Amino acid sequence: MMQSLSLIQQLAIMALPLVLAVTVHEAAHAWVADKLGDDTARSLGRVTFNPIPHIDLIGTIVLPLGLYALSVLTGSAGFLFGYAKPVPVLAHRLRRPQRDMAWVALAGPGANFAMALGWAMLFAVVSSWMDLLAGSAEFFAYMAIFGVMINVFLMVLNLLPLLPLDGGRILAALLPPAWAQQYARSEPWGLFILLGLLFSGLLMPVILPIVQGLQRWLLA
* Rounded Cα gap, residues 92 and 105, in angstroms: 15
Nearest to 112 by CA among 218, 2, 220: 218
How far is C-alpha 82 from the geometric centre of its chain's CA atoms? 8
Running DSSP on this structure, what letter comes out for residue 150?
H
At a CB cut-off of 8 Å and minimum separation 6, what does 34 contact? 41, 42, 47
CB atoms within 10 A of CB 103: 18
* Rounded Cα gap, residues 151 and 116, in angstroms: 5
Nearest to 23 by CA among 115, 145, 127, 152: 115
CB atoms within 10 A of CB 69: 13
The active-site residue out of 18, 22, 25, 26 is 26
Q: What is the 3-state secondary structure (H, E, C) of 113-144?
A: HHHHHHHHHHHHHHHHCHHHHCHHHHHHHHHH
Tell me, yes or no, if 187 is annotated catalytic.
no
Number of residues written out for the chain: 220
Catalytic residue numbers, as ranges: 26
